Amino acid sequence: MDRPTGFLDQAYSVDTPENVTFAHEVAGIGNRFIAALIDSIFIGLALFLLNIILFAGLAVVGSNLPEQALDPETPGWIEGFLIAIYALVNFLIFWGYYIFFEYVWNGQTPGKRLVKIRVLRMDGNPVGFIDVVIRNLVRIVDFLPSGYGVGLVVMFVNGQSRRLGDFAAGTFVVRERADVPLSGLVNPSFGSPAGPVADTVDEQLLLRFVHIRRLTPQDNELIREVLQRHRSSSISENTALRLAESIAAKLEVDPPPYLGAVQFLQDVRRAYQQI
């Protein structure tokens, strides 16, 4: 459900299967423009440098061609082959840049990372390879008639600043929340971190959650998100309890009491880290 709070400041809420609702702050056109500008500068530099290398290489190849290949009457397949290489390299740099970084960096390019925005699927999950490929190939249409002509118009007329590529891939761009230090994930009531990586295996913890392998990476990420937001007081104790009850049912253990939900989620995360 989309909840617009202003022209350049919208929120988009996602309901998880565990009945936990997360509100994401949609990245405005300004942030996306700055990120795109930074990425364009990086792409331009890469194209400039690699084209210099390519032309230098072609010059070396051309100087070493036999005399018959330089004859004006020689079929132009050699020239066409070299032009094809040039076009392919430029295509891979321009389009591969976005696809590579958004896939490897979970929805971020260098520009997006600097501006602190990220691409997500509409269900709130990280983008996959197919999502990244689709949203960036449709960039060809977004560029029409020049620059981000069509894409910019589409971003203005919808409430989530989504371009055509986002609609095609089922994605949207959100602003990153501020990083929380590890010390900030310690619940003062219990004195234990939300999700440490254990140095040794806690056998008692694994015996308590014998079905911990039923937990998916998405469940683990959801628990991490709830603990982080609980620490920053952006969600209520009831929300943590609903998630804890859902996780307890999945792991076939007794649900925690009201004031023990956060500790329960912390224990589940620690157990998950040990498998």
DSSP of 12-58: EEEE-TTS-EEEEEEPPHHHHHHHHHHHHHHHHHHHHHHHHHHHHHH
Contact 171, 161 (CB under 8 A): no
End of a domain among 123, 146, 175? 175
pTM, rounded to two decimals: 0.56
Q: Is residue 275 part of a domain?
A: no
CA angle 36, 42, 44 (to 5 degrees): 100
End of a domain among 175, 193, 226? 175
Q: Is residue 5 part of a domain?
A: no
100-147, pLDDT tens digit by residue? 999 999 899 999 999 999 998 887 778 889 999 999 888 877 766 655
- Return averaged pLDDT per consecutive 10 residues of the chain, 275 residues in all: 44 54 74 90 89 75 57 57 78 88 92 92 85 89 66 75 87 74 43 46 82 86 85 79 90 88 91 85
Domain hosting residue 67, numbered range: 10-175
In terms of domains, do 209 and 82 share one? no
219-250, pLDDT tens digit by residue? 888 888 888 888 877 777 888 888 899 999 99
Residue 174 CA to residue 28 CA, distance in Å, equals 8
Residue 176 CA to residue 228 CA, distance in Å, equals 13
Contact 247, 215 (CB under 8 A): yes
In terms of domains, do 28 and 131 share one? yes
| Angle, in degrees to the nearest 10, between helices 77-104 and 29-63 | 150
> Of 63, 49, 59, 66, which is closest to residue 82 (Cα–Cα)?
59
Q: Is residue 3 part of a domain?
A: no
In terms of domains, do 15 and 65 share one? yes
Q: Is residue 152 part of a domain?
A: yes
In terms of domains, do 158 and 193 share one? no
Q: Is residue 16 part of a domain?
A: yes
In terms of domains, do 135 and 192 share one? no
In terms of domains, do 159 and 241 share one? no
The pLDDT score that the predictor gives to residue 198 is 45
Neighbours of 31 (CB within 10 A): 19
In terms of domains, do 27 and 158 share one? yes
In terms of domains, do 151 and 235 share one? no
In terms of domains, do 121 and 218 share one? no
In terms of domains, do 91 and 191 share one? no
End of a domain among 175, 194, 209? 175
In terms of domains, do 162 and 240 share one? no
Provide φ and ψ at 29, rounded to 5°: -60, -35
In terms of domains, do 187 and 146 share one? no
Q: Is residue 1 part of a domain?
A: no
For residue 188, whether the previous peptide bond is cis, meaning omega lies within 30 degrees of 0, is no
E strand residue ranges, 75-219: 117-121, 171-175, 186-187, 192-193
Which residues are 258's β-sheet partners? Answer: none
The count of domains in the chain is 2
CA dihedral 47, 53, 59, 63 (to 10 degrees): -160
Contact 130, 102 (CB under 8 A): no
* Three-state DSSP class for residue 59: helix
Q: Is residue 99 part of a domain?
A: yes
Q: Is residue 2 part of a domain?
A: no
Strand (E) or helix (H) holding 3: strand 2-4
The pLDDT score that the predictor gives to residue 102 is 93
